[in-house]
Amino acid sequence: MNAGNNTLTLTYRRARADDRDAVLHVLAFANFHHVPTPEMPELTLEKFYVAELGGQVVGCAGYKVLADGCGKTTLMAVDPTYRGLGIGQRLQELRMIEMRSLGCSVVITNADRPETIDWYKRKFGYREIGTLKKLHEFGHPAIDFWTTLEADIERWYRELYITAPDAR
């Protein structure tokens, strides 16, 4: 990426404790910054990836492993200035690969924006499995429920990384 005469490098890495304020800043773009709350009781930075451009956090995505061994995405947001560059897709890939490495074969995601729900289905093979009433305003303020989505991590991984592109 070019900013004037300077070339900026987009990198991805695990979040650190000192990224907390930057992560909350990016989450605010999606109205996900109200932490702790009943919707998101904690912000576990050890389970977050960040996208960094020129030393600035421009995207973030978290996950956790549930007691039943399923993966669960937590929060993801990208600064609107940098949307459309594949940052969200790469962050989602990183957390799905990590959950797979931790033994998860299924991942659950809650989303409220129709375009985000479609994106998860199209890019990662999610399917709708239900809805969940929001506990308070979080995410899109005009939508009072989450659409619960589920994806088969192994199937996604095989299709993306094992099946040859010309064999699809």
Give the residue extent of every domain in the chain. 2-167
134 with 37: CB under 8 angstroms?
Answer: no
What pLDDT, on the 0 to 100 scale, is given for residue 53?
96
Please report how the helices 87-101 and 114-124 are oriented relative to each other, as an axis angle in degrees rounded to 10: 60
Give which of 16, 124, 104 is closest to 64, Cα–Cα.
Answer: 104
What pLDDT, on the 0 to 100 scale, is given for residue 161?
76
Mean pLDDT over residues 121-126, rounded?
Answer: 96
Considering the domain 2-167 in this protein, what is its CATH number? 3.40.630.30
What pLDDT, on the 0 to 100 scale, is given for residue 92?
98
For residue 69, how far is the Cα from the chain centroid?
19
Residue 158, helix vs strand vs coil: helix
pLDDT in tens, 63-111: 999 999 999 999 999 999 999 999 999 999 999 999 999 999 999 999 9
Give the C-alpha separation, 103 to 92, whole Å. 17
Which residues, at least 6 apart from 125, have a Cβ–Cβ distance to it below 8 Å? 151, 152, 155, 156, 159
What pLDDT, on the 0 to 100 scale, is given for residue 6?
60
What pLDDT, on the 0 to 100 scale, is given for residue 90?
98
Give the C-alpha separation, 132 to 13, whole Å. 31
What pLDDT, on the 0 to 100 scale, is given for residue 7?
77
pTM: 0.91
> 163 pLDDT exceeds 80?
no
DSSP one-letter code for 85? S
